[in-house]
Amino acid sequence: MAEAIAFYTLAVLILGLGVAVVTTPKTVHSVLFLVLNFLCVAILYVVLRAEFLAVIQVLVYAGGIVVLYLFVVMLVNLKRAPEAHEDPRRLARLGLGLSGAVLLELAGIVVYSYGRAAPSSAPAAPVEGIVGNTEELGWLLYTDYLIPFEVASVLLLVAMVGAIVLARRES
């Protein structure tokens, strides 16, 4: 019951804030709604017993990526409205229709696949004091997934160098 209340509250908050991110006319407000959305997703991770990922979500997304977005919004000093000009060939209605089709398709897949097999219910709570989520995840990352982990670190290095080169002012 408690999980149901938490899930529905968080689901309404996440979807509402997502709609707010996409529809707000001011970019700064959009970024602030995005922070709230990420924090709600972090709480949802706690409900799903992924405590380590909740912390990572707050640190990396709400703390790092969103600050980057805020920096860019502040740096980009617009002299006219960002959406003033519209390409006459742009088909926004078609885009809306297509994304509605994506939603319908995904809902159809869910109904189809869960309609036949009974949806699995949550497993019982694990016995206290075996291994923490962080410890278990760290073990997996440093044994079975060591090579992808290192590749990800190389990717982050490449992205960092690329971002510096791209954003540097050419003299």
Residues 72-131 that bind another protein (CB under 8 A): 72-73, 75-76, 78-79, 82-87, 90, 92, 95-96, 98-100, 102-103, 106-107, 110, 114, 119-123
C-alpha span between 70 and 53 (Å, rounded):
23
Longest dimension (CA), the chain: 64
Binding mask 34-63 for another protein (x = CB under 8 A): x--xx--x--xx--xxx-xx--xx--xx--
Instruction: Please say whether the beta carbons of 31 and 113 come within 8 A.
Output: no
b/e per residue 35-65 (b: at least 16 CB within 10 A)? bbbbbbbbbbbeeeebeebbebbbeebbeee
Contact call for residue 135 and another protein (CB under 8 A): no
Whichever of 129 and 137 has its CB closer to another protein, that residue is 137
Site for another protein in 8-37 (CB under 8 A): 11, 14-15, 18-19, 21-22, 27, 30-31, 34, 37
